[in-house]
Amino acid sequence: MTKRWTLMALLLIALAALAGCSSDDDPVDPPPTATPFETMATAVEAYLNDNTDCPGVITAQALHDNLDDYTVVDIRSADAYTAGHIPGAYNSSIANILTDVGTTIPTDKTIVIACYSGQSAGHAKIALELMGHEDVKTLGFGMSSWNSSLATGWNSNIGDNLASPETTNNNAGLTEHAFPTLTGTNATIVATRVAAMVAAGFQSITWATLQPNLDDYFVVNYFGQADYEGTGTAGVPGHIPGAYQFTPYASLGFEQMLKNLPSDGTPIVVYCWTGQHSSQVVAALNMLGYNAKSLSYGSNHLFHSSLTANRWTAASANDFELEVGGAQTPEFAAMYAAVDAYLNDNTDCPGVITAQALHDNLDDYTVIDIRAASAYNAGHIPGAYNSSLATILNDLNGTIPSDKPYVITCYSGQSAGHAKIAMELMGYEDVKSLKWGMCSWHSSLATGWNNGIGDNLASPETTNNNGSLTAFAYPTLTDEDPASVVEDRVAAMLAGGFQSITWANLQPALDDYFVVNYFGQADYEGTGTAGVPGHIPGAFQFTPYTSMKIGEMLPYLPSDGTPIVVYCWTGQTSSQVVAALNMLGYNAKSLSYGSNQLFHSSLLASKWTAAETHEYELTDPILP
């Protein structure tokens, strides 16, 4: 893409050379060369004095209505971005914007920069424009205008804080100054100074800081003359006492604003209506070697009540959708796509089959028993193959046939969930797990469930805790190839074995865990029809089949290593959820026996009873 500053710098040098030419009869001096300052000034003048491109704001409404046409770059902190951002937005910063755009951030659409209030985005916009990215825009009033929940900055900073606006025109008192000296070459000065500006960050000052020390600053009023003098149509009653007036789009030139600005380090403060335009002027001045800052919130902070234009009001804030969570690496996105397609499909997950149904149709299934070899040898379902979580994928490629649907069986039905999701994600369709495990196949194997039930949660909580959820960044799966991440992460999950925790181990250290209740909301709150009296104290509720999604459950799960415990009714669904979370990079465990261990007596559904066990044939039992 052609860079505007390159063409203008070459034009400046060419014009200077022509000015030094004379007739053949006169002595010819070497053509003068533009200074680095003149090259830099020509670049920013070409941009700032183009009112079709600067300040180049877009309203939240216009962006929302045409979101697919733009690439949104959110330069707020990672925490603010994670807590809620425009759907599809990329997170960056002023310091990293030049590196990120064109690498991790695509450039095939018009870029919109979003910040908190619309002010700091101006620094990022002018940087991108001067480096050749055309038609960059900033979001008017920033994220404050996208969603009212983010409008605290604007709502708390409007006011009538300039008690006595001045109407006197002070420009007759301007004096000329030498231009700053910039070191470098004409070929690299723009790139060098842009990089220095973004590295320094957003340069601003509040009225509270400026007002007590007003005489120490050179204040630039970036209005038209009539508004500066309090006679315009925008309702401005005047200007900051002592301020000088420079007209937008006409004054940033060698013979206008620049020669009148102090170049001795005196701080320059530029203010406009909202701080969005002055941000770009200030960025330009700092690139030119001046010491400049933008007045936060501009005239809206000085005389908000009188403004009839460019005014923040409650109507400026919308309530457009916010996407929660951090940026996704390509590897995380690929892994998420796989588990989303599986876990949020209630026709496939948890995908259990009862012992009765399996027994009555045993010839239609290939049964894989993942218990220890000793347990398998003591007695297993006729025709079942023995395997394990660690070896199941290899065994499926070797000793286990693939001509029938599979049923995975384990001790209680819980660890089989890890194997089931692994097989499904690796392309094996119509895999089922045996409900209640081998406990339901034969009463002699029911010890686990018979001992696992109980009423161990003495005081269930009914309060909904979801209002206190906070967002986290997503785990970073950068060690994987996006093309093979599913295969690699499935293998790692299986190698890690069944991840579970008992209530006896969880309860004493409950505050150390992030507990996920995988029920519907009514059952979580103790008002459902399944007899559940509530939930584990402090647990958060996520609805099965709808919540394991970006913007739902995932952005609220801690990605800092905090252990996550998921519980459901029996531990069979939570086993698959936990396997998925571990594949996504979280640290998750399934609560053994689920709600049947917490409040078994009150359950009206998904409840282990003696009626769940049968006396079906066992092959190769070790007889007494």
Model pLDDT, residue 345:
78
Q: Dihedral (C-alpha) 421, 423, 426, 431: value to the nearest 10 degrees?
A: -90
User: Mean per-residue pLDDT for 285-301?
Assistant: 98
Residue type, 305: S
pLDDT at residue 325 above 90? no
pLDDT at residue 296 above 60? yes
Model pLDDT, residue 621:
65
pLDDT at residue 32 above 70? no
pLDDT at residue 16 above 70? no
pTM of the model: 0.76
pLDDT at residue 624 above 90? no
Confidence band (pLDDT; 50, 70, 90) for 25?
A: very low
Please tell me whether the peptide bond between 382 and the residue prior to it is cis, using omega within 30 degrees of 0: no
Mean of the per-residue pLDDT values of the chain: 92
Model pLDDT, residue 18:
31
User: Mean per-residue pLDDT for 421-432?
Assistant: 95
Angle at 337 between CA 336 and CA 341, to 5 degrees: 115
pLDDT at residue 1 above 80? no
Model pLDDT, residue 343:
87
β-bridge partners, 205: 295
Check if the beta carbon of residue 393 is closer than 8 Å to that of residue 491.
yes
Phi, psi torsion values for 481, nearest 5 degrees: -85, 125
User: Mean per-residue pLDDT for 534-560?
Assistant: 89
Write out pLDDT tens, residues 114-148: 999 999 999 999 999 999 998 899 999 999 999 99
Q: DSSP code of 474?
A: P
User: Mean per-residue pLDDT for 244-252?
Assistant: 90
User: Mean per-residue pLDDT for 583-606?
Assistant: 97
Angle at 123 between CA 119 and CA 126, to 5 degrees: 125
What are the structural domains, with CATH classification, of the chain?
43-316 (3.40.250.10), 330-612 (3.40.250.10)
β-bridge partners, 72: 112
Model pLDDT, residue 28:
39
pLDDT at residue 15 above 80? no
Q: What is the DSSP string of 484-506?
A: THHHHHHHHHHHH---EE-HHHH
Write out pLDDT tens, residues 161-207: 999 999 999 999 999 999 999 999 999 999 999 999 999 999 999 99
Angle at 167 between CA 163 and CA 170, to 5 degrees: 115
User: Mean per-residue pLDDT for 366-394?
Assistant: 97
**Residue 476, Cβ neighbours under 10 Å: how many?**
14
Check if the beta carbon of residue 291 is closer than 8 Å to that of residue 282.
no
User: Mean per-residue pLDDT for 367-387?
Assistant: 97
Confidence band (pLDDT; 50, 70, 90) for 551?
A: low
Check if the beta carbon of residue 550 is closer than 8 Å to that of residue 336.
yes
pLDDT at residue 52 above 50? yes
pLDDT at residue 20 above 50? no
pLDDT at residue 326 above 60? yes
**Residue 242, Cβ neighbours under 10 Å: how many?**
15
Model pLDDT, residue 130:
96
CA Rg value for the chain: 34
Give helix then strand counts, H and E, for the chain.
24, 20
Write out pLDDT tens, residues 79-111: 899 989 999 999 999 999 999 999 989 999 999
